[in-house]
Amino acid sequence: VASFLGMFFQGATAIAALPEATRPVANIVNALRYADSVTALLWGSVAGWLTSLGLVLSQKLLSLSESMEAWTEGVKDVIEPTLVLLLAWALGSVISDVGTAEFIASSLKAGLPVWSLPALISAICYVISFACGSSFGTMGIVFPLV
C-alpha cells in the first residue's frame, strides 16, 4: 500500500512540475506513468520495516538490539541479489544507449521470419538467465532490446 501511494504521490508531483502547455490530465493512470517507482518502492520498504519493527518492539518479542541484529542479517541476505539486479539494469542501459536493438533489428530484418522471433527471444533469455542467475536481471538486459 505504501509503495502504491508513494508512486501515486510521486507521479502527481511530477505532473504538477511539468509546464502547463504539456501537462497531461492528472488522473491515476498518468500519475503512475510519471512516477519514480524506485523511490516509491524504497519508501514502501522503509514503511514495512518500521511497521514490523514497531510491532515487534510493542509486543516485546525482541529487544531493540535483537531487532537491529535481525535486520542486519536480513540486509546481508539481500545485498548480493540487489547487486546482480543493479548490474543487470546498468548493462540494460548500456545496451539501450549504444543502439543494440536497432543493430539487431537491421541485421535480422531480411533473413529472419517474424514467426520465429518469440522462440529466438525465449532461447536468448534462457541463456542470459542461466549466465547471470537472475530472471529479473534477464528482464533488465532484454527489455531494452525487445
Q: What is the DSSP string of 53-84?
A: HHHHHHTTSS-HHHHHHHHHHHHHHHHHHHHH
- Split at pLDDT 50, 70, 90, the class of 55 is very high
> Is pLDDT larger for residue 35 or for residue 108?
35
Q: Given a cut of 90, is residue 100 above it in pLDDT?
A: no
Q: In terms of Cα–Cα distance, which of 87, 97, 99 is closest to 128?
A: 87
Cell of 97: 544507449
The amino acid at residue 131 is A
* pTM given for the model: 0.57
Flag whether pLDDT at 118 surpasses 90.
Answer: no
Q: Cell numbers for 67, please give them.
A: 531487532
The answer to which of 22-31, 58-67, 81-90 has the lowest mean pLDDT is 81-90
Which of the four pLDDT bands, split at 50, 70 and 90, describes residue 39? confident
What number is the average pLDDT over the span 124-133? 81
The pLDDT value recorded for residue 68 is 93
Neighbouring residues of 43: CB distance < 8 A, sequence distance ≥ 6: 2, 3, 6
Angle at 118 (CA atoms; ends 115, 124), nearest 5 degrees = 135
Q: How far apart are CA 76 and CA 41, in angstroms?
A: 19
CA angle 87, 46, 72 (to 5 degrees): 70
Query: Hey, which of 24-28, 59-63, 85-89, 97-101 has the most confident mean pLDDT?
Result: 59-63
Alpha-carbon dihedral sign for residues 1, 3, 81, 65 = negative
- For residues 84 and 137, what is the distance between their CA atoms, to the nearest angstrom? 7
For CA atoms 38, 100, 134, 77, the dihedral sign is: negative
